[in-house]
A and B are shown apart, each in its own frame.
Chain A
Amino acid sequence: MNSYAYTLLIPLIPFFVFLFVGMAEDKLKGKLGGLIGTVGLGIATFLSYYTAFKYFITDHVHGTAYTSVKAFEITWLHLTEKLTINLGILIDPISVMMLIVVSTVSFMVHIYSLGYMEGERGFARFYSFLSLFSFSMLGLVLATNLFQMYIFWELVGVSSFLLIGYYYEKPSAFSAAKKAFIVTRFADLGFLIGILILSFTTGTFDFQTLVDPNGPAISSAGGAAFMGLSLLTWALILIFVGGAGKSAMFPLHIWLPDAMEGPTPVSALIHAATMVVAGVYLVARLFPVYALGGPVALEVVAWVGAFTSLFAAVIALTQTDIKRVLAFSTMSQIGYMMLSLGVSGYGGEEGLGFMASNFHLFTHAMFKALLFLGAGAVIHAVHSNDMSEMGGLRKYLPITHMTFLIACLTIAGIPPFSGFFSKDEILVAAFHSNKILFGIEYLVAGLTAFYMFRLYYSIFWGHDRHYHHTPHEAPLVMTIPLMILAFGSIFSGLLPFHHLVTSDGLGFDSHIDWMIAAPSILIGVVGIAVATLMYKTENSRPAAVAKTFSHLYRWSYRKFYIDEVYLFVTKKIIFNYISRPVAWFDRHIVDGTMNGIANLVVFCSFNIKGLQSGRVQQYGFVFVSGVVALVLIFVYLL
């Protein structure tokens, strides 16, 4: 026990709120359930900020490295003398940073939902699920070992499943929930195998031991090899597969766009700001192992991230559902973070990418949550997700308009908004590592600016559409979170991340490299300018462009047919050639044996059940003739 023991309350408060609101759901009238959830999370948020303040400022001796502190730990499962599964709380720079991200966004979403979800059936259920998610996510962030992380990882998946399927009467919602769950679960298989291999080679689950540069994990890098790569590298790649599933990296991204079927606050919380960055957090958590033990795995991370960011950005260009545009933009931005981790080295200036990734994670959480909540306010006003049914909304939704514009500028990387700083760091890190990756990211930065402003102009500019009723600004309970997040989006870029969150705990000095920053601003401005040209007023230019690149347009619009490929592989190949024979075997051979035994018993019983007629005289007859027969046999025949 130490001075951080109170942090145990941070995940536990949402947990108890979940239990209470979940069980008393029917009894909680009106908004009571929501208020309980919001207050509970408010306390957790306060504790998180207090922890951050304490950890980064009061407890820190200037000039020394940030150390990781185990606030609390118990042994949960005792497997062998050496191998135990513990549950506990680990405080270190990235976990504290994630605490801030998760609790802030979650708190904002809790407040926002009080307005957004008003009058929905199952209001209290929504809040109980939100609390469950907050508990799981906080537990994941604070995990002291891989296995605890895995447990909460799955809990996060479950609560995501529950929240995507919140409108479970809608077929598209529950199939999206199933899809998300199955795809991430499939990826988690890789994660689990990776955990097992890693713990097999190192004999521990504990993060503190694992990330120790002199510990058993990194020294095992030269160990047994399999297909040209060391066992450790394979373990790290498999763990990354789990992270890629949660973070919607190509090719495991297919669940994220469909997950937008959930309520918009859920999309903001889970599918933009917190859960989907769990994969980034996972890699960041194990970063020293990746950097020192498996550079090949880190390269995989970088390339997957880069490809996903480009891929998603291209798709986002043509989508018309505003939430889906945001979903693909989320994928693209997470690709950035992965890439940044992938190009990073360990320690000091080398660790710029690591710092940039976490920095971007932080700012992205702010502006992406803001974008989603803004989109939610728009949807709230016009009751549609489709961009073609929106236009000219800036007159009706002034606050939403302003905050949305701020968020768009932030994501486009225009100074002095926070996105500029974090994206700039990523570009610098990429530039110093690999020019091709840098090129991809540079292109993606332009695309991002373009599609975000396409979205922005389509919603807020152009002429009015036929609305069911005059769109009205959202209530204060929804706009206040927007304003708070806008504030965060503007100013979080000024945080001295390179002193706080670094790969080895030691701060380093960083400065803006104008050689790279200037072109990146330029391409952002170009993207915005092109979008302005095409979409500010409605004209025929977008259609003309679409016609010129009609193949590319169609491919992008259909998301490069990845869903279709999955369907083909699963339905045509796996179902027909694997599942069906197995099902046949199960149905006819396994079940057949069991049914055969059962039928035999039934057949026999059916034929002898006449003996059990319940008629006394028949019993008497059998008894008498039996006695006669026995006497005959034993007295006369034997």
Chain B
Amino acid sequence: MIDNIPLNSFLVISTLMFFIGIYGFLTRRNLITMLMSIELILNSVNINFVVFNKFLYPNLLHGHFFSLIVIAVAASEAAVAIAIIINIYRNFKSIDVENLDQMKL
């Protein structure tokens, strides 16, 4: 199915996705969109794991399982992060990251 598509194409996609995620993390002011950017980053990593597994070690499934685990971690991370965001929203009536600079004190 993928015989004529080089490994590097996948890697370019995942790299771009990764840095787009980082860009989103650095520029979005809303905590939820920052969370979504993190999901993008995790997803690009997943693609990398899977692609390396498929191209370099097709006789094993390690990358595949790592992706599964990352998905599970992402799910739990999203749950906890959203709980925190809702808590912040309750306390500050805002989820703008600019307002959350009290950690420095």
Question: Interface on A for B, CB 8 Å cutoff?
Answer: 612-617, 620-621, 624
Contacts and interface: CB of A to CB of B under 8 A. Distances in A.
B26 A621 contact: yes
Interface of B: 22, 25-27, 97-98, 100-105
Q: Give me the 9 closest cross-chain CB pairs, A-B, nearest first.
A: A614-B101, A614-B104, A614-B103, A612-B104, A621-B26, A615-B101, A617-B26, A620-B26, A616-B97
B28 to A, nearest CB: 8
B103 A620 contact: no
Given A615-B97, A617-B97, A624 B26 contact: yes
Contacts of B98: 615
A592 to B, nearest CB: 32
12 contacts: A612-B104, A613-B104, A614-B100, A614-B102, A614-B103, A614-B105, A615-B97, A617-B25, A617-B26, A621-B26, A624-B22, A624-B26
B101 A613 contact: yes
Contacts, number: 24
Nearest to A624: B22
B77 to A, nearest CB: 16
A257 to B, nearest CB: 60
Nearest to B29: A617
A620 B97 contact: no
Interface of B is mostly: helix
Contacts of A621: 26
A620 B34 CA distance: 12
Contact of A620 (B25, B100, B101, B104): B25
A457 B13 CA distance: 118
A609 to B, nearest CB: 9
Nearest to A612: B104
A616 B22 CA distance: 13
A621 B22 CA distance: 9
A617 B101 CA distance: 10
Q: Which of B26, B27, B103, B104 has its CB near the most chain A CB atoms (within 10 A)? A: B26
A614 B99 CA distance: 9
Contacts of B25: 617, 620
A321 B30 CA distance: 85
A617 B26 CA distance: 5
A612 B102 CA distance: 11
A620 B27 CA distance: 10
B97 to A, nearest CB: 6
A515 B27 CA distance: 115
